[in-house]
Amino acid sequence: FIVAVFYNGRQWEAAARLDFLWRLQAQQEVEDMRELREHNECLLHNILPVHVAQHFLERSKNDEELYSQSYEEVGVMFASIAGFNEYFEQKEIKHEGVDCLRLLNEIIAGFDELLEESYFHCVEKIKTIGSCYMAASGLAPNKQGSVDEWNHLSELVLFALAMQEVLKEINKN
C-alpha cells in the first residue's frame, strides 16, 4: 500500500510539474502572439493610411476583400531626384553603389521624418519608386465636405518646399 501511495504521489508531482511547464509555455506563446500582432499592426500603419489600416484591423475580413474609396478633392505629388539613376550607375561601375543607396535612404528617411510633424498631418506617403517619392493629401474621409477641404493642398505644397530644405541640409553635409 505504501508503495502505491508513494507511486501515486510521484505521478501527481510529475503531472503538476508538466502542468506548470505547459502553462508557462502557453503564457510565453500568448506573449509572443501579442508582440507579433503589435509588430504587424505597426507595419500596417507604416504601409497604409491610418483610416485604411483601421478598416482592416477593426472587423473580420474576407481574404479576397479589396479597399477602395472615392475622393473628390485630392492632391498627388511626385518628387524625383533628377539624374539619380545615371549617378547610381556611375557609382555602381566604381563599386560605390552602396554609398549611393545609403544617400538615397538618408533622403527618403528625411522626407519620412517630415511626415511625422503635426503640421503635415494631411499628407500621406503613398510609396517610393526608386528615387521617386509619391505623396498625397486629402485622403482623410472625415474631412470631405468640410469648410477647409482645400487646405490639404497648401499642406502638400509646403511639404514639397520642406522636402527641398531637407535636400539642402543633406547637400551641406
CATH architecture of the domain covering 75-172: 2-Layer Sandwich (3.30)
Q: Which residues contact 50 (CB under 8 A, 6 or more apart)?
A: none
CA distance 37 to 44: 10
Intervals of the chain under pLDDT 50: none
Q: Are 163 and 79 in contact (CB under 8 A)?
A: yes
DSSP 34-96: HHHHHHHHHHHHHHS-HHHHHHHHHS---TT-------SS-EEEEEE-TTHHHHHHHHHHTT-
> Which grid coordinates belong to 14?
510529475
CA distance 55 to 151: 25
In the prediction, which pLDDT does 144 show?
A: 56
Q: How many CB atoms lie within 10 A of CB 123?
A: 23
In the prediction, which pLDDT does 95 show?
A: 77
pLDDT in tens, 128-166: 988 899 999 988 766 655 556 788 899 999 999 999 999
In the prediction, which pLDDT does 115 show?
A: 92
Q: By C-alpha distance, which of 82, 100, 105, 77 is closest to 90?
A: 100
Residue 98, φ and ψ in degrees, nearest 5: -65, -40
Q: Are 53 and 45 in contact (CB under 8 A)?
A: yes
In the prediction, which pLDDT does 33 show?
A: 96
Give domain limits for the chain. Answer: 2-47, 75-172
DSSP 143-162: GTTSTTTTHHHHHHHHHHHH
CA distance 137 to 160: 12
pTM beyond cutoff 0.85: no
